[in-house]
Amino acid sequence: MAERKEVDARGMACPGPLIALISALKTVEVGDEVEVLSTDRGSNKDIATWLNKAGHQLVESEQLADHIRFLVRKLR
Amino acid sequence: MTTRILIVGGGLAGTIVANGLCRQLGRELAKGAVNITMLGADERHLYQPGLLYIPFGRMREAELFREQRKVLSHHVYFHVDPATAIDVDGRTVTTASGKEYGYDYLVLATGSRITPEEVPGMAEGAHWFYDLAGARRLREALGVFTGGRIVVNVNVPHKCPVAPIEVTFMLHDFLKERGLWDKTELTYTYPIGRLHGLEPVANWAQPEMDRLGIKYETFFNAESVDPNARTVTSMEGSTLPYDLLITIPPHKGAQVIENSGLGKGGWVATDKKTLHRVGSNNVFVVGDTTDIPISKAGSTAHFEADTLVDNLVSLIQEGCMAREYDGKVFCFIEAGLNRGTYVWFNYQVPPNPVPPSRMVHWFKLAYNRMYWLSARGLM
């Protein structure tokens, strides 16, 4: 069964949340999910661009009151 | 009653804190009202930024080291007996020899270390300069290099964030001086979508690399190295062949931090202004050990240490904190073997590299020697 790992990158400046996501994806299995919380607006572009390049799936992204939540699935 | 200050770690951050405290607490130390103990891992103090120059023959190994006992004030009780367990609830630190130290204030300055073993094949197939053994091996490799493909591969997290750019520009000049530049293809890889984490530095470096004919690839996170095929492959699916692979390996914090449950990866959750460990009012964190989202650099450690010294002295003498750390960082950046620039920034002000000059390069060379004054708390 797929597992989900949470990465709380709130407060990190660009490119901290993206680097935290990359580091987390290295530690999970294909099919697992990583949830990233970020307060950096640049993460919208950074994370989407990297996922497209690296071939992983952005399952959902959500703008919450004071941060953005990304849910990513490792595909390869 | 004696106030016991225990410093775990004898690198730059811990040393500046220890010596800074001694300079300001002379009266308390003389009376026995304050006691400062440091637990280190080595008899020698290493000037880590100097390792960058070793592969190019621009610094001698002996210049990188001093005896830690001589760098420290005589007031500091220094033990080469690294911590193996830190109990912040019980206010004790246990060491490799089995001794137990209590404290009233604890300073965590355990630093970071390279972990090339995290990337399959990297330890066998790559060179680096982030420790002395690696810098020596790279010096030997460059000494017999006669041309071919060099890849400078940057991984995260890592300390001294401008060093990868510096080594790349220095390589260009080194190879040009040796008449090998025309026989070399130099490629720089970076994990995110630009050439450096600090956007202004990336914006400065890219046209410099274009001008010099240095190739680059972004969004490149090394997943594996094949030492036999001499290739490095990224998480993003790109494979680069190399004749010489110079990597900036991923880093981790100290194992004792992780083993003591103080922070995953060896990084301690730290208040970015007070430098308190989150959840403790008598535990402070400085240097690479923090999880503060700014550069892990010597100058970061230095400016954090200055702030911490003022706060600890103020807590002891006046019962309150003195000031907050403003995120100040200052980094020299070698733009070759004879030119340098610098950046400074803090939580509010972004960096803005100045045009490279010989004067800044010379100042960096001078600082390489003045460092020992910083470590002693004199500058």
Say how far apart CA B66 and CA B55 lie, in whole Å.
20
Count of domains for chain A: 1
Q: Which candidate from A26, A49, A55 shows the least CB-CB separation from B237?
A: A55
Amino acid found at B327? G
Domain B116-250 of CATH type 3.40.50.920: no
> Does B199 touch chain A if contact means CB atoms closer than 8 Å?
yes
Closest alpha carbon within chain A to B251:
A23
| Mean pLDDT for the stretch of residues B319-341 | 96
Looking at residue B27, what is its pLDDT?
Answer: 96
Percent of chain B residues past pLDDT 90, beyond the cut: 94
Q: Is the CB of B237 less than 8 angstroms away from the CB of A11? A: no
What residue numbers bound the domain in which A55 lies? 4-73
Residues of chain B with CATH 3.50.50.60: 3-111+254-328, 116-250
* Residue A13 with chain B: CB contacts under 8 Å: 293-294
**Complex ipTM > 0.90:** no
Give me A66's structure tokens. 């004071």
pLDDT at residue B82 above 80? yes
Task: Report how far Cα A14 is from the mean position of its chain's Cα atoms.
Answer: 13
* Residue B118 with chain A: CB contacts under 8 Å: 26
Task: Report how far Cα B228 is from the mean position of its chain's Cα atoms.
Answer: 31
Q: Is the CB of A19 less than 8 angstroms away from the CB of B191? A: yes
Rounded to the nearest angstrom, the minimum Cα separation between A1 and chain B is: 23
Question: pLDDT category, B126, cuts 50, 70, 90?
Answer: very high
Question: pLDDT category, B275, cuts 50, 70, 90?
Answer: very high
Residues A37 and A29 sit within 8 Å (Cβ to Cβ): no
pLDDT at residue A23 above 90? no
Closest alpha carbon within chain A to B190:
A19
Average pLDDT, chain B: 96
Which residue do the tokens 């010379």 mark? B362
A14 counts as catalytic: yes
Domain harbouring A8, CATH code: 3.30.110.40
3-state helix, strand, coil split of chain B in percent (to 5) is 35, 25, 35
* Residue A5 with chain B: CB contacts under 8 Å: none
Looking at residue A42, what is its pLDDT?
Answer: 87
> Does B14 touch chain A if contact means CB atoms closer than 8 Å?
no
Q: For residue range A33-64, list pLDDT tens digits in order.
A: 999 999 988 899 999 999 999 999 999 999 99
Minimum mean pLDDT range among A1-10, B67-76, B125-134, B341-350: A1-10
Looking at residue B262, what is its pLDDT?
Answer: 97
Question: pLDDT category, B334, cuts 50, 70, 90?
Answer: very high
Q: The domain B3-111+254-328 is classified under which CATH number: 3.10.20.70, 3.20.20.70, 3.50.50.60, 2.60.40.1110? A: 3.50.50.60
pLDDT at residue B348 above 90? no
* Residue A12 with chain B: CB contacts under 8 Å: 293
Q: Strand, coil or helix: what is B37? A: strand
Contacts of residue B178, Cβ cutoff 8 Å, sequence gap at least 6: none
3-state helix, strand, coil split of chain A in percent (to 5) is 30, 35, 35
pLDDT at residue A13 above 80? no
Looking at residue B69, what is its pLDDT?
Answer: 97
Q: What is the DSSP letter of A12?
A: P
Rounded to the nearest angstrom, the minimum Cα separation between B229 and chain A is: 22
